[in-house]
Amino acid sequence: MSEKQEYFAAANTGAGFVNCFDRFFDPDKLDRLYIIKGGPGTGKSATMKLIADEAEQRGYEVIRCLCSSDPQSLDGVLIPGPGVGVVDGTAPHVTDPEYPGAVDVVVDFYPYFDVPYLRAKREELLPLFARCSALHKSSGRYRGFAALAKAEEISVISACVDPAKLRAAVARAVSVLKGKPGEPLHRQISAFSSRGKVTLDTYARLCEKKIAVCDEYGSAYIFMNALKDKLTERGIGFYYSCDTLLFGNCEAIFVPGDGTYFTVTGRAAETDRSGYDRLLNMKRFIRADAERAVRGRLRMCEKAVRTLDGEAEKLITEVGDVHDDIEAVYKNAVDFDGVGRLRKKLIGEIFR
């Protein structure tokens, strides 16, 4: 693919942090995997950005994995042609060598810290780290509660969905696709981050046809999960992205062989038709009498999800502010000339 590809290789979900690095950086499938170790503000992301840019200038396909906590930073770079991966191997996505030297190489930024300076800043730094951790935990708890409410909402609406109609719609959707043989690939395009909820436009840029699956009390995920299963059953290759609240639910599917992109949106009345080639309204699959009988429960769940996840988003945004304060301290404690020399050596080794 010549189009720019950006994904997330991790997710902050309703069940906690999920590390998806193995979907991209499997050492059994790579020639070399460079694992960068270093603290905040030490230039890990800047180094990977330079490597990605250099690879593109040399004509290689590049896949950038953005940080799910801060999409302005990189967590990794994959260069499929030569089989090279570069990752940030520090927490929360700790990565250690499986095949030291043979495949994996640790690139250590820690020697470029001014440790005496950081020790002198201990009284400033420790409360910031504690605050960051506390905010993360609080945000995670609210997300956990929101996930429970969302799971209940989907459970309730699923009993109102006409399964025969849904199966027929999924079968029709798959029957018109001109997909190529392949396997499902998890390529995450959404994140719950310190910059808010973010959805990357990678699928939208790669696709030729965009279909909105207009949600009604979480029923769109029932359709998307069924579509994912049917494509897998038929052996059609596709990419999929998961809902960051309930990570077991599929929120987007892109079929490269056909160029079709399915994505969950809000209700049909709230969806801008001009942005899509087709709208699939989930309301048509819901038995009206059954939905009326449980509407009160559905609305309560919907409100709970909105309120709880909204509070979680406020808290995770605060995490970003505190992390910026931490990075500001560390940036004054880094020998960037030394990092620059290491960076130059690394780039030379990758493209030798």
What digits encode the pLDDT tens for the residues 301-315? 999 999 999 999 999
User: Does the reported pTM lie above 0.85?
Assistant: yes
Axis crossing angle, helix 44-57 with helix 336-350, rounded to the nearest 10 = 30
pLDDT in tens, 43-56: 999 999 999 999 99
Structure tokens at 318: 């605060």
Contact 233, 179 (CB under 8 A): no
pLDDT value for 149:
99
Distance of alpha carbon 117 from alpha carbon 332, whole angstroms: 9
pLDDT digits (tens, 9 = 90+) for 220-263: 999 999 999 999 999 999 999 999 999 999 999 999 999 999 99
User: In this model, does residue 169 exceed pLDDT 60?
Assistant: yes
For residues 259-272, average pLDDT: 97
Residue 3 has pLDDT above 80, yes or no: no
Q: pLDDT tens digits for 176-193?
A: 999 899 999 999 999 999
Quote the mean pLDDT of the chain: 96
Per-residue pLDDT tens digits for 281-303: 999 999 999 999 999 999 999 99
pLDDT on residue 161: 98
Q: pLDDT, tens digit, for every residue of 126-167?
A: 999 999 999 999 999 999 999 999 999 999 999 999 999 999
Coil, strand or helix at 219:
helix
Structure tokens at 249: 């639910």
Residue 2: its pLDDT value, please? 60
C-alpha–C-alpha distance, residues 228 and 246, integer Å: 16
The per-residue pLDDT for 352 is 86
What is the Cα–Cα distance from 180 to 258, expressed in whole angstroms?
A: 8
pLDDT tens digit string along 191-207? 999 989 999 999 999 99
CA 344 to chain CA centroid, nearest Å: 29
Alpha-carbon gap, residue 84 to 18, rounded angstroms: 23
For the segment 265-279, the average pLDDT, to the nearest whole number, is 95
Radius of gyration of the chain (CA): 22
Closest among 141, 175, 159 to 309, alpha carbons compared? 141
Two structure tokens written together for 234: 């038929």
Q: What element of type H or E holds 341? A: helix 336-350
Asked whether residue 1 carries a pLDDT value surpassing 70, the answer given is no
What six digits make up the tokens of 212? 């909105």
Condensed to tens digits (0 to 9), the pLDDT of residues 61-109 reads 999 999 999 999 999 999 999 999 999 999 899 999 999 999 999 999 9
Distance, CA of 246 to chain centre: 13
For position 4, what pLDDT does the model report?
A: 87
Write the DSSP assignment of 83-103 as a string of letters: TEEEEE-STTS----SSBTTT
